[in-house]
Amino acid sequence: MKLTPTTKRVAVGLLAAALPLSMAACTKGGSSSSGGAGGELTMWTHNAGNKAELAAITAIVNDYNKSQSKYKVKIQAFPQDSYNQSVVAAAASKKLPCILDIDGPNVPNWAWAGYLAPLDGLDATLSKYLPTVLGKWDNKTYSYGYYDVALVMVTRKTILDKYGIRVPTTDSPWTKDEFNAALKKIKASGDFQNPLDIATSFTGEWWPYAYSPMLQSFGGDLINRDGYKTAEGSLNGPKAVEWATWFRSLVTDGLVPLKSGADPAKDFINGKSAMLYNGTWTAVDTRKAFGKDTLFLPPPDLGTGPKIGGGSWQWGISQNCSDQAGALDYMKFAAQDKYVASVARDTNNIPATDAAAAQVKGYEKGGENEVFLDYAKKFAVLRPVTPGYPFIATEFTKTAQDILNGADPKQALDQAVKNIDANQKSNGYFQ
Amino acid sequence: MSTITAAENASATTLRERKPAKGSRSSTTTALLMLLPAAVLLITFLLIPIGLTFGLAFTNARLISPRPAEFIGTDNFVRLFQDETFWKSLRNTIVFAVVIVPLQSACALGLALLVNVKMRGVNFFRTVYFLPVVTSMVVVSMLWLFMYQKNGLINEVLLKFGIVGPDWLGDPKTALLAIILMSAWQAMGFHMVIWLSGLQTIPADLYEAADLDGADRWQKFRYVTWPGLRATRTFILITITISAFALFTQVNIMTQGGPLDSTSTLVLMAVRTGFQQQQTGYASAISLAFFVLVLAVTLLNRYVTRDKDVVR
């Protein structure tokens, strides 16, 4: 057949027109129903950039796949930065994997949205877990985690001794005045660039995780936890304003740098800062640098006792998994103490059960890390258990940043309360 | 004979008439077919989302929610106009555009004039000035983030001259300025190349004629170069304005809108509201406000750069 120019043109046009259509067909044909068909259970994790944790999880999955022949779990790892977006996008198109991990405070939001299915029949096992590693919403448990992290004041015994500062303990932590006096003393000596580094250079969830416990220690909170209807009085009451004023004074008095360096732990190790407020994940590096001289102290009691954030990454199953029984079967298998121990050991975090703690070096009775478990049990406060939490977190982050930069405390907090209340209300209080 | 001629004439006429008719019909079909791919893409990825934005702006739609979106009238806009962050973002966006358009285009023109000489090694300088453009904005932002540190490179250099530099990105007074300077530096090379192409379209004999008339360098620039660059000027004005309004990457990486909203922009605010705070409806209202702003500026731009000769 001889092509005339016109037919040629039409053919090319048709081809070009068919291209997007065939692309659409491709996506349609390529989509399979959500993970769970044929005994294969898809699993998503945020650990792509975290070798140690991914390896620990992979080991559990391999054990599980070998232990039975009915189901096969397949891991897909995502980088943490894009993980939440991936889950939200997958949920919007009903393509969630069967098993997935979730950052603790997001669990109520995702449970409310219908992403997650409750973990039925695991109550006996999970009753042995630290309460802060369980994701609960509306009286149902949706997730469990292998570990928790504690916030600590890292410093060195030699530094405290040099300035005649008392070493605080779990039972008698520093009071607010004692803490301020200690920082001012270090400041006056001029030996350190920063008496304290609170890692303000960290972004995202760090701000509510690390600084809302300080607010809670003053007696304020992110929201009134009775019904989660309003933040009025909790986030802008006199206690909260007191916290905000103190928080800003840390900067204006030169006790804390307004903006920390890219790696605050390194600055502490290099002797730039006398004290570091950070998670227990810094324990490995700081111990390597200072050995037995390193102290991991409880945060100061700013009014109502020391407080630290609770809840880290946790595992749950999705609502649209076509094989709920299989996913639950894996979750039961993976909840064994030996796996809690292996994941906690490989990630240098606090094991979620006592039985596992006994198996992890450092967390046994009298071990060097036992104090972390102590803090997690005594001081940990969950972030507000409401589906409105992601909004509260961003509001608090912005407000705390503004306050640290010199915004009027009362005004900034009032604005945050107004926004949070409006958001809770516009969602019908998440009933 | 005559009948035959008439018939011939008739058939010739019909042929003549039919031919273009047939041609135009098939070329219309072809044109439509050719248009189809672009039209499908434009409609799917541009018109439908814009339409959705208009609709969503009047609802309380959420990114994650089991509840269906409800129509809430102009609530989102009432809230928006009471939101202090919105006014600060609007002001920052406008300040950014107003400062960067003349700054960046003037610097780019200066560079273009410098590298528009016939000299050995000029290609080297062209490449050097163009380098920041081919570097990703994310990378450039991260590098400048370090340079702008309180003890960073810039302040160390200033210290050599006895000036104690500010905490560029940490101080609400200097943060926006710091971002403007860095953005101008990054994009300057691109507009230099465009100015350069404009410069090279100006015929050399005009300069020769100017030389014969005894024009000095300034006069040559004022009366030959500048009028010769009119079309280029319009293009550069429009492209810089548009990219200035879309300011997002630098701010997102370097300051996240802080300190005290001093670098917040409309796009940043919309993204933050829509994704981190999950308020799709409210974010749509912000986008709509942004749309109106860009529309107004584009119309103004068109009015200012309209072809005055034609109007006359």
Domain boundaries in chain B? 84-311
* Contacts with B64 from chain A: Cβ below 8 Å: 88, 91, 109-110, 113, 115
State residue A120's pLDDT score: 87
The partner residues of A99 in beta bridges, in order of sequence, read A43, A317
* Contacts with A6 from chain B: Cβ below 8 Å: 26, 30
* Contact check, Cβ <8 Å, B276/A394: yes
pLDDT band of residue B7 (cuts 50, 70, 90) is very low
Extended strands (E) in A157-228: 194-197
Which sign, positive or negative, has the C-alpha torsion A56, A58, A63, A68?
A: positive
The more confident residue out of A428 and A53 is A53
| Nearest chain B alpha carbon to A426 | B60
State residue A65's pLDDT score: 92
Say if residue A13's pLDDT is above 80. Answer: no
User: What does residue A349 show for φ and ψ, rounded to 5 degrees?
Assistant: -120, 180
Q: Does the beta carbon of A17 lie under 8 angstroms from any beta carbon of chain B?
A: yes
* Contacts with A109 from chain B: Cβ below 8 Å: 64
Lowest mean pLDDT among A109-118, A341-350, B65-74: B65-74
Average pLDDT in the B3-20 region? 48
The more confident residue out of A363 and A29 is A363
Residue A401 and residue A253 share a domain: yes
* Contact check, Cβ <8 Å, A20/B30: no
Residue A420 and residue A396 share a domain: yes
Nearest to A132, CA basis, from A390, A362, A309: A309
* Contact check, Cβ <8 Å, B272/A394: yes
Average pLDDT in the B139-159 region? 86
DSSP string over A274-326: EEEEEEGGGHHHHHHHHGGGEEEEPPPB-SS---EEE--EEEEEETT-S-HHH
Nearest CA of chain B to the CA of A222: how many Å?
Answer: 16
* Contact check, Cβ <8 Å, B30/A10: yes
State residue A273's pLDDT score: 93
State residue B23's pLDDT score: 53
Query: What stretch of H or E contains A147?
Result: strand A147-148
The answer to the question of residue A125 being in a domain is yes
Q: Which fold has domain B84-311?
A: MetI-like fold (1.10.3720)
Question: CB-CB: which of B40, B79, B257 is closest to A20?
Answer: B40
State residue B309's pLDDT score: 54
Nearest CA of chain B to the CA of A387: how many Å?
Answer: 9
Nearest to A44, CA basis, from A81, A74, A72: A74
- % of chain A at pLDDT higher than 90: 52
Q: Tell me which of A372, A403, A420 is where a domain ends.
A: A372
Say if residue B137's pLDDT is above 60. Answer: yes
Residue A366 and residue A234 share a domain: no
* Contact check, Cβ <8 Å, A391/B258: no
* Contacts with B67 from chain A: Cβ below 8 Å: 427-428
* Contacts with B41 from chain A: Cβ below 8 Å: 20
Split into its structural domains, chain A has a count of: 2
Task: Map residue B101 onto helix, strand or coil.
Answer: helix
State residue A47's pLDDT score: 87
* Contact check, Cβ <8 Å, B65/A427: yes
Average pLDDT in the B68-72 region? 81
State residue B1's pLDDT score: 42
* Contact check, Cβ <8 Å, A17/B37: yes
* Contact check, Cβ <8 Å, B256/A422: no
* Contacts with A402 from chain B: Cβ below 8 Å: 258-261
State residue B12's pLDDT score: 47
State residue B3's pLDDT score: 44
Say if residue A3's pLDDT is above 80. Answer: no
Size of interface A-B (CB pairs under 8 A): 79
State residue A38's pLDDT score: 64
Predicted complex ipTM:
0.70
User: What does residue A217 show for φ and ψ, rounded to 5 degrees?
Assistant: -65, -30
* Contact check, Cβ <8 Å, B63/A88: yes
Nearest to A430, CA basis, from A399, A400, A402, A390: A390
Residue A322 and residue A296 share a domain: no
Which pair of tokens denotes residue A427?
């969602």
Cβ contact B158:B179 at 8 Å: no
Residue A208 and residue A292 share a domain: yes
Distance CA A129, CA B187 (A): 55
Residue A267 and residue A341 share a domain: no
Residue A325 and residue A289 share a domain: no
pLDDT band of residue A85 (cuts 50, 70, 90) is confident
Cβ contact A38:A72 at 8 Å: no
* Contact check, Cβ <8 Å, B33/A91: no
State residue A278's pLDDT score: 92
Residue A249 and residue A196 share a domain: yes
Average pLDDT in the A347-374 region? 88
Which pair of tokens denotes residue B166?
């500010």
Task: Map residue B222 onto helix, strand or coil.
Answer: helix
Distance CA B311, CA B294 (A): 25
Q: Does the beta carbon of A110 lie under 8 angstroms from any beta carbon of chain B?
A: yes
* Contacts with A88 from chain B: Cβ below 8 Å: 63-64
Residue A224 and residue A205 share a domain: yes
Query: How large is the angle between the packed helices A5-30 and B2-42, nearest 10 degrees?
Result: 20
Nearest CA of chain B to the CA of A416: how many Å?
Answer: 11
Most confident of A19-23, A413-417, B293-297: A413-417
Nearest CA of chain B to the CA of A255: how many Å?
Answer: 17
The answer to the question of residue A413 being in a domain is yes
Residue type, B144: W
* Contact check, Cβ <8 Å, A259/B150: yes
Nearest CA of chain B to the CA of A10: how many Å?
Answer: 6
- Domain harbouring A337, CATH code: 3.40.190.10
Domain boundaries, position A252: 166-176+188-308+388-430
Which pair of tokens denotes residue B75?
């609530």
* Contact check, Cβ <8 Å, A428/B67: yes
The answer to the question of residue A144 being in a domain is yes
Lowest mean pLDDT among A302-306, B18-22, B86-90: B18-22
Nearest CA of chain A to the CA of B64: how many Å?
Answer: 6
Lowest mean pLDDT among A26-40, A206-220, A405-419: A26-40
Average pLDDT in the B271-286 region? 87
The more confident residue out of A32 and A303 is A303
Nearest CA of chain B to the CA of A63: how many Å?
Answer: 35
Nearest CA of chain B to the CA of A152: how many Å?
Answer: 27
Residue type, B22: K
State residue A123's pLDDT score: 86
Cβ contact B255:B145 at 8 Å: no
State residue A83's pLDDT score: 87
Record the pTM: 0.79
Say if residue B284's pLDDT is above 80. Answer: yes
Nearest to A41, CA basis, from A343, A338, A313, A333: A333
* Contact check, Cβ <8 Å, A259/B64: no
* Contact check, Cβ <8 Å, A258/B66: no
Residue A416 and residue A330 share a domain: no
Question: CB-CB: which of A16, A402, A406 is closest to B37?
Answer: A16
* Contact check, Cβ <8 Å, B64/A391: no
Look over chain A and give the mean of its residue pLDDT values, rounded to a whole number. 86
Average pLDDT in the B21-32 region? 75
- Mind listing the pLDDT tens digit for each residue in B208-254? 888 888 888 888 888 888 888 888 888 888 888 888 888 898 888 88
Most B CBs within 10 Å, among A3, A4, A6, to test the B interface: A6
* Contact check, Cβ <8 Å, A405/B36: no
The more confident residue out of A402 and B258 is A402
Buried b (16+ CB within 10 A) or exposed e, B138-169: eebbeebbeebbbebebbeeeeeeeeebbbbb
Q: How many CB atoms lie within 10 A of CB B172?
A: 16
* Contacts with B26 from chain A: Cβ below 8 Å: 6, 10
- Mind listing the pLDDT tens digit for each residue in A192-216? 999 999 999 888 789 999 999 999 9
Lowest mean pLDDT among A78-82, A267-271, A350-354, A414-418: A78-82
* Contact check, Cβ <8 Å, B259/A394: no
Lowest mean pLDDT among A134-138, B68-72, B172-176: B68-72
Say if residue A309's pLDDT is above 60. Answer: yes
Q: Does the beta carbon of A5 lie under 8 angstroms from any beta carbon of chain B?
A: no
pLDDT band of residue A21 (cuts 50, 70, 90) is very low
Residue A353 and residue A250 share a domain: no
The more confident residue out of B117 and A131 is A131
* Contact check, Cβ <8 Å, A113/B260: no
* Contact check, Cβ <8 Å, A19/B37: yes
| Nearest chain A alpha carbon to B260 | A402
State residue A185's pLDDT score: 93
Say if residue B5's pLDDT is above 80. Answer: no
Residue A268 and residue A207 share a domain: yes
- Mind listing the pLDDT tens digit for each residue in A128-155? 998 889 999 888 999 999 999 999 999 9
